[in-house]
Structure 1
Amino acid sequence: MKRLLLIPLLFVMSCAKAIDFGSLILPEEEELRIGKSYIPYAIEESDGLYPDKRVQEYVKSVGMSIAKHTPRRLPYEFFVVNSDTVNAFALPGGPVFITRGLLLKLNNESELAGVLGHELGHINARHHAKFLEKMYAINLLYNISSVLLADKPYAQALLQFGQVGGQLLALKFSRDQERQADELGVVYVLKAGYDPRGLLGVFETFKNMERTNVPEWLQTHPLPQSRIEDVQREIENIKPSGSLIYDTDEFQNIKKLLKQTENSYREFYAGKKAYQQKNYSIALSHFMRAVELYHDNYEARLYIAYILAKEGNISQALRQVQTAYSIVPEVFSTNYVYGFVLFKMGRYSESVQRLERAKKFIPDHADTYYYLGRDYEALGDISKAVYHYKTALELSQGKAEWSKDAQERLRRLQNM
């Protein structure tokens, strides 16, 4: 489980069957909407956003300097996520993600440009969109993308929404698609003034890691020797010359900033492991140490807030979640945990505001619906309470720890 204490995405992977829809094309407007709607999923599945704005702005500046040389004029976005896995990935229509773990493995700015250029290659070749066109009927994709616009989405549509998201985040590309993304990426970074040999440096790092710990990037981006040779041949054919960017002081400064927070995130992952094993006191000590080492480790603060709220230490839980929210307010996790803590305090109207906001970021999270049901029931809005209990049970398939309570409350309210 990568998402903070929240139930896993309801990926119904077994339901997906390849369907050949021939010439059916997903309109760009829908491609953009689908890609944007899964940004919050990607963030939560990658342990949140890296909270340093300087790091985020730096990667964005490098990414946008390359993106302006791509043929598709899209609303590109670039995110650094907290995961310590060595990975980068993209979503349909523009969003590109790189992990803290991969940034720490890169040696210079041209390598960063190579990674971002490659992901932009996938987007510009419409590899994600072609996957969607092959796997799903176009009308289903319309329904899924409209979920975010609906006032009362049906649980079945939300399940389908989560299913597609799961496959997009774990999408494995073919060798031909990887070759095409490499070729396009080389062209883009060269036009942006970067040394395209940076991508070869990334491949060398991955090959060295492959002997001991296979990078996650290689699990979705296969790297046979022929692929490396193809990139070498492409670069030789282009014959890059002139004053090309190999490295910058800013890249090295950014890497130093990331290294300064490594110990904090090491404590965070130790706490997360203990939490998953239900060793909550040990988990709490690790999370506390994580925020001592790095004040802005907001994900650690959210775990602290959740554990303390469960234990009844509401005042300290509130302080932790308020701090986390002040650091990164526009993500699912800070809004969800804030709403949970407010619910525990009996501040139901305020809890509704936070949980409804969380629901807009990630619309298929069952716990959100359950606690909204509790809030609305406490506020006397029976129809909304019933709706949210029903949706929570459908999304969780009756397997959540609160399922029996939700069933009993739903039965009682429907019999009133």
Structure 2
Amino acid sequence: MSGYRGLFNITSRLFLGMLVLAGLSGCATNPVTGKSELALISEQSELEIGQKQYQPSRQMQGGDYKVEPEITRYVQQVGQRLAAVSDRKLPYEFVVLNDSTPNAWALPGGKIAVNRGLLLELNNEAELAAVLGHEIVHAAARHGAKGIERGVVLQGVLLAAGVAASDSDYSQLAVGAAAVGANLINQGYSRDAELEADHYGMVYMARAGYDPQAAVGLQETFVRLSKDRKENWLSGLFASHPPSAERVEKNRQRARELGQGGELGAERYQQMVGVRKKTAPAYAAYTEGRAALQKKQSDKALMLADRAIGIEPREALFYGLKGDALAQQGADTKALTAYDKAVTLDDGFFRHYLVRGALKAELGDRSGARRDLNRSVELLPTADAHYLLGGLALREGDRPNAIAHYQQASGASSEHGKAAATALARLDLPEHPGRYIKSRLGIDRTGSVLIHLENPTAVTARDIRVQLGELGAGGRVFVRAEYRVPGALGAGQAVSLQTDIRLSDSKQLNRWDSRVIGAAVVE
């Protein structure tokens, strides 16, 4: 399924270009632990990575929570109170994300996020301080940077142990440099890093005037919930910060060392966050509605969207769900109205523009679709938006722009990513056949040179021409023969051509090379 309807099932290779390993300085002193350690990534690079990934990472996790801006200000105040007593002065930032999954994460350079869902599970301000202090240590002690240095992210590996996808996790959509954020926030920390973050996080709590005993109670709650296998917890904070009895005991020991006393801030916390629990049923209805939509139960999804809106009419996500349900029913005009409302309430979340732009494209409003899709890409580059923009460019005869968008989308494994790869091959293979038809050399028992050709694309190629050349001084290739592949080479197929070049020794093959110079696509 392509176009707008395929967006209902929305749920890297990259990074090296954005990572500046400036000054491979060797050993440095960790500002938190005081230990000497290898530091390949400079502080400036840490800051650049965090700054560049903060926006797309927030988009992938549901966007910023905007219904109650005073809650974000409150979290920022608590965070900055802790940051002020931390051992490393970074440009710390704190934000609340519009995601019901209980989770929190930190990027290199001090960019920290807490999910709305986690706030509802805490009992007092000191527990919030325990969470934020823990994340501050991850940033201050370079735990994220160390993960990069180990090559976990540089290899482009999406860790299976990362945060499980929730209804508002769009990390699998991101393409280009934005996809790096998915690796950074989903990477699990080592046991030592977690213990270190617990230890110094409690130190920061005490320095800031909070009762460090709250960190013990918080970990005890985490362990109990993990044993009860509360799914929403297991798919959130526990995925990257696994609780354990060892961590509880270590926290108890540290709390005894730090002494009793300090603020809990229970009343203040409940006044700020506790009353927001009244809107929890609205978000529960939204989550249920998204699940219903996946099952093509649009009537149920629409009913749940209206229920959520009735409880909290200021939440843009609920109007997005309503628009999706209406569009699934074919009520496109009403769907556009719902999407318009979502954009009005939150003009900084990529998905509102993505789905509205996709629907506009399907309805023939190309200029409106292009504006929305480009805005979506500005907020979070996704395969879906680039694929749709490629289609718009192609319909308008703008072949170079279509190719550029399809190239951006083709690296994704999603439905639109695969469709973009196919569209790209159809457009670009005749001009650059060597990019798509792979060739390598071999030798048979008689010494004849073989040209092995493979078509890894989803299209069928014909009229394939390949040259065989000998490498000369300075790497220059002297063409000795040209061959044409008989018939067509289907998607995923391979063929071997026997040439009339004979070699006495297989080692001589290193002096020869082949390249595909021509091909056409079977329509």
What's the TM-score once normalised by structure 2's chain length? Answer: 0.65
1:321 lines up with 2:336 in the alignment: no
Asked whether 1:285 is paired with 2:300, we answer no
Question: What is the aligned partner in structure 2 of residue 182 from structure 1?
Answer: 198
CA offset digits 1:24-49 (Å, max 9, x no partner): 61222332232233334543443443
Equivalent residue of 1:245, what SS?
Answer: coil
CA contact (8 A) 1:291 1:301 kept: yes
Is the contact between residue 190 and residue 196 of structure 1 (CA under 8 Å) also seen in structure 2?
A: yes
Task: Note the C-alpha offset of 1:306.
Answer: 3.4
Structure with greater helix percent: 1
Matched, 1:65 2:85: no
Q: Does 1:224 align with 2:244?
A: yes
Q: Does 2:285 correspond to 1:270?
A: no
Aligned pair count reads: 384
- Residue 355 of structure 2 is matched in structure 1 by 337
Structure 1 vs Structure 2 CA RMSD:
3.3
Q: What is the letter of the counterpart of residue 221 of structure 1? A: H
Whether the 8 Å contact between 2:138 and 2:193 is mirrored in structure 1 is yes
Alpha-carbon deviation of 1:331?
2.5
Cross-structure match for 1:15: none
Say if 1:309 and 1:36 are closer, same or farther in 2 by CA, change over 3 A.
farther
2:446 aligned partner? none
Q: Is the 8 A contact 1:11 1:165 kept in 2?
A: no
Deviation at 1:219, TM superposition (A): 3.0
SS at match of 1:38: helix
CA–CA separation in structure 1 for the residues paired with 2:121 and 2:106 = 19
Q: Distance in 2 between the 1:195 and 1:39 partners?
A: 30
Q: Indicate how the Cα distance of structure 1 residues 233 and 404 shifts in structure 2: closer, same or farther if over 3 A, else same.
A: closer
Q: Deviations 1:148-169 (Å, cap 9, x if unpaired)?
A: xxxxxxxxxx867466433323
Instruction: Name stretches of at least 5 consecutive residues in structure 2 with no aligned partner.
Output: 1-6, 15-23, 27-37, 158-173, 432-519
CA distance in 2, matches of 1:376, 1:69: 53
Cα shift readout 1:206-259 (whole Å, capped 9, x = no counterpart)? 233233234332332233323222222222222255xx3211543112333321
Output the TM-score relative to the length of structure 1: 0.80
Bigger relative contact order, structure 1 or 2 (CA pairs below 8 A, ≥6 apart): 1
Q: Secondary structure at the match of 1:135?
A: coil
Change (3 A) 1:92 1:408: closer
Counterpart Cα distance in 2 of 1:173 and 1:247: 29
For 1:368, the aligned partner's letter is A
Which SS does the other structure have where 2:105 is aligned? strand
**Secondary structure class of the residue paired with 1:79:** strand
1:260 and 2:275 equivalent?
no
Q: Which of 392, 410, 416 lines up with 1:393 in the alignment?
A: 410
Q: Which residue of 2 aligns with 1:173?
A: 189
Pair 390,225 (structure 1): closer, same or farther in 2 beyond 3 Å: closer
The CA deviation at 1:118 is 0.7
Residue 384 (structure 1) aligned with residue 401 (structure 2): yes
Closer/same/farther in 2, CA of residues 277 and 299 from structure 1, 3 Å limit: same
Task: Report SS of the residue matched to 1:97.
Answer: strand
The question of 1:107 aligning with 2:144 is answered no
Instruction: Identify unmatched segments of 5+ residues in structure 1.
Output: 13-20, 142-157
The Cα offsets for residues 62-108 of structure 1, whole Å up to 9 and x where unpaired, read as 11221122233322222222333332222222222222222112111
Residue type matched to 1:232 in 2? R
In structure 1, the residue matched to 2:144 is 128
Q: Determine which structure has more spread, i.e. the larger CA radius of gyration.
A: 2
C-alpha spacing 1:105/1:277, structure 2 compared with 1 (3 Å): same
Query: Closer, same or farther in 2 for the Cα pair 1:37/1:321, shift >3 Å?
Result: farther
Give the equivalent residue in structure 2 for 1:375: 392
Letter in 2 for 1:341: L
Whole-Å separation in 2 of the counterparts to 1:140 and 1:339: 30
Residues 24, 181 of structure 1: CA spacing in aligned structure 2 closer, same or farther, 3 A cutoff?
closer
Identity fraction in percent: 32
